[in-house]
Amino acid sequence: MASRSRTTAPASIDAARREVATSPHRDESDQSGNDLSTGASGATGKNVAAKPSSQIELSPAVLNGDTRIEVDGIEVDLRNRYLAAFLAWLVPGAGHFYQGRRGKATLFVLCVLSLWVIGFAIGGANVVYASWQPGDRRWHYFLQAGVGAVSLPALVQGNKMRENTDPRGRTVDSYRPLWNGFMAPPNRPVLEGEADEVAAWYAIHGSGYELGTWFTMIAGLLNFLIIYDAFGGPLAVPISGKR
C-alpha cells in the first residue's frame, strides 16, 4: 500500500503541472472570447443608441432641405415641392398625384371639388365672382380662389366688368359679359337697401345663396391645407405603433 501511494503521488503532481502549463492559453482564448462578446455588445449598444426604436428615420436628403422624407419605414419622394404646391392649388390633388401619392390625390379632388360644385350650384351659379367696388367688396373670393383653376374665370369676368364701368361707378349699357355671364359680377352700382342685381339673386335663391357662398369658401380653405401637405409632405410621426 505504501509503495502504491508513492508511485501515484508523482503522477498526480505531473498532471497538475501539465494543467497549469496549458491554462494560460485557455485564459487567452477566454479573454479573446470575452473581448469579442464585449465588442459585439458594444456595437449593438451603439446601434441602439444611434437608432432608438421610437425615433423617426429621416433620409439625409430631408435634413438637407431636399425632397425625400421617410415615415414608418415608407419613403416619400416629394419631388419639386414648389411645383407640387402650385399643382395642388391649380387642381386639388394634382400636386399629390405628381408626387405619386395617388390615394390622397383621389380623395382630395373628390372632396374639395364636390363641395365647391355643390355650393356653386345651390347658389345659382352666382356666388363666385371677383369684385372690389364700393358696395360690393367681394372678400369671399379670396377664399373661393383657393380651389385654383375653376375659380379663374371670375378674374377674367371681373376685369371685363372693370373695363366697362364708367367713372360714376355704373356699368355701361354696351357691356356684355363673357360665357353667358358665367362667374360675372353683378351690374353696378351695388348699393345696400336698393333693388340691385345682388338683391335679386338673394330673392331668387334665398338661403341657398348664402349656403353656396360658404360651401365654396370652405372648399377653398380646405385646399389651402392640401397645398401645405403637398409642399411639406406627410406628418413625420409614426402611425403604425411599431416599436
Classify residue 77: in a domain, yes or no. no
Classify residue 154: in a domain, yes or no. yes
Residues 46 and 121 placed together within one structural domain of the fold: no
Residues 46 and 120 placed together within one structural domain of the fold: no
Classify residue 87: in a domain, yes or no. no
Residues 121 and 214 placed together within one structural domain of the fold: yes
For the record, the C-alpha cell of 243 comes out as 416599436
SS (H, E, C) the chain: CHHHHHHHHHHHHHHHHHHHHHHHHHHHHHHHHHHHHHHHHHHHHHHHHHCCCCCCCCCHHHHCCCCEEEECCEEEECCCHHHHHHHHHHCCCHHHHHCCCHHHHHHHHHHHHHHHHHHHHHCCCCCCCCCEECCEECCHHHHHHHHHHHHHHHHHHHHHHHHCECCCCCECCCCCCCHHHCCCCCCCCCCCCCCCHHHHHHHHHCHHHHHHHHHHHHHHHHHHHHHHHHHHCCCCCCCCCCC
pLDDT at 85: 96
Classify residue 173: in a domain, yes or no. yes
pLDDT at 23: 53
Residues 215 and 141 placed together within one structural domain of the fold: yes
Classify residue 108: in a domain, yes or no. no
Residues 127 and 210 placed together within one structural domain of the fold: yes
Classify residue 197: in a domain, yes or no. yes
pLDDT at 11: 54
The domain of 219 spans 116-227
Residues 121 and 40 placed together within one structural domain of the fold: no
pLDDT at 75: 74
Classify residue 182: in a domain, yes or no. yes
- pLDDT tens by residue, the chain, 243 residues: 444 444 445 555 555 556 545 555 555 555 545 554 455 444 444 444 444 444 545 455 544 456 777 666 677 778 899 999 999 999 999 999 999 999 999 999 999 999 999 999 999 999 999 988 777 889 999 999 999 999 999 999 999 988 888 888 888 888 898 998 899 988 887 666 556 788 888 888 888 999 999 999 999 999 999 999 999 888 765 555 544
Give how many domains the chain has, as a whole number.
2
Residues 135 and 216 placed together within one structural domain of the fold: yes
Residues 46 and 125 placed together within one structural domain of the fold: no
Classify residue 134: in a domain, yes or no. yes
